[in-house]
Structure 1
Amino acid sequence: MRQQILEQANNFDNEIQAKYAQIVALIEKEVQEVRNEKMDRVTLANLLTQMAMQLNNEFDVLGND
């Protein structure tokens, strides 16, 4: 009986470790997606800023002064 309980406890431990690894992997994936989306927003903001500066003749596209 004791051996059976020990085996069951070990099985539960293995299952918990596997679930933990899955959760950590999912969280890391979501964090990376959020970082990528945030970076895309920064890039878009920079693009829109440059466009606004061009419309206001404040930004020289060719680098001519």
Structure 2
Amino acid sequence: MSGWFRLTLGLLAMIVGALWTVQGLGYVEGSVLTDQRLGAAIGAGLVLVGVALIWLGVRARGRR
């Protein structure tokens, strides 16, 4: 995987994870995930995966 691809996936994962987290916590209404703790937990995990992918992408770009 190239550095740019990891950076893009990481950013996308962070955005979706943050959205799922706030929906799961009940701050955004009108979704199946609203007020669902499982959605908040999965969203937080996805944010962490996104951070890791961004970190790996930055490292891959720095080696070039």
Identify whether the pair has TM-score above 0.5, normalized to the shorter chain.
Answer: no
Greater per-residue helix proportion: 1
TM-score (norm 2): 0.45
